Amino acid sequence: MSDVIGKDATVRRWSIGELADASGLTVRALYHYDEIGLLSASERTASGHRRYTEGDLRRLYRVRALRSLGLSLEEIARVLANRPDDPVTMRGLLAAQLRSLEEQAEHIGRITHRIHGLIGRLDDASMPDPDQFMTTLEMISVFETGFTQEQREQLAARRAELGSEAVEEAKGRWAGLVEQLLGHVRDETPADDPRVQDLARRWDELGAAFHAAGEQGEGTKAAARRMWQENSAGLGGSLPWPADRMAALVAYLERARQAR
């Protein structure tokens, strides 16, 4: 490592490839860390190659430790930007992460209890009724799509306000919209076509009925839209339409909204 200009050649330094091999990260990931300011090599060789120091390795250790706790790269960057060894900052971040994990664990516990109940009914040769299956499936879907506990309660309260008849009627209208929109997806109708715009408007209006008014409703709307954008293939697997077509439909709707 003696090609580092003006530095003590006896002190160990690591190339990006060596660091990648030692850490289990890819070279591409380390380049990305550098681009976003999360981890940069402290030194360069005369030819411009990165050389990582012991201090860089300590920082990478902190990054990997925080990442293993479920923190995003953006959250980790904020922690390391504000005195990475500050116990107050670290405690606040870990406490927030712990609360989130506890909420997830609580919800997993409720799902587990319900599934055990369904299995018990099946073992007793007593078929659970459709509502029991639907409740379990809804809970699993909600968990996988990232609503907070508060948002789940808000959505449940809104469904109760609407009543079962209104919910069932909305499901029928929604299925009709899906069929019409899938036809436009198949025919490659432009997203700004007035017919598509009308269907997209009706889709959003129908969905809005299941959300509360005001800021709380806007939060659950955003979460629901993000749910479909990020998990449309998986969610579509439980619907009567092919998952790939539902994923295409979600992308098509987003283009229609952008064309307004």
- Helix, strand, coil content of the chain in percent (nearest 5): 70, 5, 25
pLDDT in tens, 99-148: 777 776 776 776 676 677 667 666 665 555 555 555 545 545 544 445 66
Element (H, E) at 2: none
Distance, CA of 204 to CA of 214 (rounded, Å):
16
Q: What is the pLDDT of residues 81-98, one digit of tens each?
A: 866 556 776 677 677 777
Residue 238 has pLDDT above 70, yes or no: no
| Residue ranges with strand state E in the chain | 43-44, 50-51
Strand partners, 43: 51
pLDDT over 90, % of the chain: 18
The encoded tokens of residue 220 equal 């659950």
End-to-end CA gap in the chain:
58
Model confidence band, residue 169 (pLDDT cutoffs 50, 70, 90): confident
Span 16-84 CATH architecture: Orthogonal Bundle (1.10)
Task: State the chain's maximal CA–CA distance in angstroms.
Answer: 79
Alpha-carbon distance 246 to 236, whole Å?
A: 6
DSSP state at residue 211? S
**Residue 7 Cα to chain centre, angstroms:** 44
> In 188-255, where do the E strands start and end?
none
Give 180-221 pLDDT, tens digit per residue: 999 999 999 999 999 999 999 998 888 888 777 777 777 777
Sketch the domain layout of the chain as residue ranges.
16-84, 86-145, 157-260
The pTM score is: 0.43
